[in-house]
Chains A and B, each alone.
Chain A
């Protein structure tokens, strides 16, 4: 039962993704043919339609339909399985509405309808992805274009006639590169240089401070306070130490040594120093069973 559900979920997810990709396409510009218009491979100047990929991924429009007739959405199909129908992120493709689709992949079997609408239809032949209305009175040498008020969001809500810009992003909102902006704001380069030098020094200065501190800690020049250790010893060890000190101060010299020996045995490999009046217990928490240095890390040598 689970397998079909998973399969269907995956299928719908894939279909959703696929559909979402096609929905990123728009008809961004169209222009009736004129002598000043784009020339095709045959040297003609047919009507043309520009399709723009608004997404950040590559989208293939092979198999999709273009039509000028709302009642016939499958009027002209773009060739399937043609790699050239893949549009890169934020890239465009140009289709010629020459009235003869036999001329090539990018040719349509209709011309631009003056006063009509062009539809881009998904490859299911039913879903209209986008449309563009062609004004009846489009000035000579002008195209009808969609503009994005915000190139980051890619919302093309501004449609009007403009100077044709085939195969390029429409509009006044040409995005300047950072280098171009830098050329305007810092033509001599001093600001960038000063900032960059400061950042490089800061980065290495921070590293210096960190490693200086860690070096001091590792070499013992700086000791981290161990709050837990600074607390008075508790439990049987504390009681034993207290007993040993009491015995020592009362003149029974052999008792502290016996207690220290007992503690030494109790703590495994613990030892005590010979400083009079103090007993230092060094606890080794590791057991020989867990100590990897005693078994796993041993190198084996061939004899």
Chain B
């Protein structure tokens, strides 16, 4: 009888109930909120649902040493986590993004590329602030990249520069990407006048197939020669686009932009979520990272919109740019471009800005990858 009782006690000690702390419950609640936002509000459901469920998985209280946790060598979750830890999921996602993205808007209006550069100021603004908050330069660089609004890039860079902060940085980046409509719209309305919001831009020209094929090759050579440290991201992005545009590798492009990116997105979301274990996530640093991440999004949006406004001062009336596409310089594709479209149509229902906004949007993807390469080169 006593032996049965001892066995039951021993079993109880292995259950989640015996090992539960308030931190575990708090993280499970956060995971539930993510899932709710993803399903009910449909805010980035393909990211928030896997991350939310991953947070719950990672915070099931357990007896240590059972070789099942994400940080325990050799466990299943740990094996899946290696794609995040060693940074090979993000380039695969970039491959898929390249295979899905039509760069026509950018090729037809290359001047809008500069907006994508202006919006990267959010990265460096957050970097400066993070240093002022007392973070080490490598940590500050990893935190700053949140301002690029690019989840895979944030994971890639933080896995190289500050692995300890990666969970918080990834969750922060994806959370704010989901909240792009909420964050960007008030800033855009605040910084633009009614007259500016009514600016209609000329229809972009049609782009030939030859131009589309040349774009990824020339684009890759230019950016990779300038920032070789961004090679994994830039190489995969442009390679994916070449697969799409070449016209002869349709099956590869379909796989990269379909099943492959879906698989990797699922795994990256789940494992990033699982990496946010309460003891590593519920710290003062995480709160600082979330604050800095929000500031970096605000800076990026502000710089993008203001850059267009200033640029307009030097343009002829028929060549003026609607400053509502300035927010799209961050690389949250295509959410920030959609915000431009929605806000633009609120001012003038006949003014469609989506195609114009896609140009700085995809330029933002290139810009954030270049910025990540620079930070990795200086701080890695």
Contacts and interface: CB of A to CB of B under 8 A. Distances in A.
Interface of A: 177-180, 182-183, 186-190, 192-193, 195-197, 199-208, 210-212, 214-215, 218-219
A203 to B, nearest CB: 5
A208 B106 CA distance: 9
**Interface of B, helix, strand, loop or mixed by DSSP:** helix
B161 A179 contact: yes
Contacts of A210: 110, 218, 222
10 contacts: A179-B136, A188-B128, A190-B128, A197-B120, A200-B370, A200-B371, A200-B374, A203-B117, A204-B114, A204-B370
A196 B124 CA distance: 8
Q: Chain A CB within 10 Å — which of B108, B123, B141, B378 has the most?
A: B378
B211 A218 contact: yes
A215 B136 CA distance: 44
A284 B25 CA distance: 75
Contact of A197 (B121, B138, B205, B218): B121
Interface of B: 106-108, 110-111, 113-114, 116-117, 120-121, 123-124, 127-128, 131-132, 136-138, 140-141, 161, 205, 208, 210-211, 214-215, 218-219, 222-223, 226-227, 363, 366-367, 370-371, 374-375, 378-380
A206 B127 contact: no
Contact of B210 (A183, A197, A201, A218): A218
Contact of B375 (A188, A196, A201): A196
B110 A196 contact: no
A286 to B, nearest CB: 17
A214 B110 CA distance: 10
A203 B110 contact: no
A203 B128 contact: no
Contacts of B128: 188-190, 193
A201 B131 contact: no
Contacts of A206: 222, 226
Given A201-B117, A208-B114, A188 B131 contact: yes
Given A187-B131, A192-B127, A197-B124, A178 B379 contact: yes
Contact of A215 (B108, B114, B222): B108
Nearest to A178: B379
Nearest to A213: B110
Contact of B110 (A178, A182, A187, A215): A215
B211 A203 contact: no
Contacts of A179: 136-138, 141, 161, 379
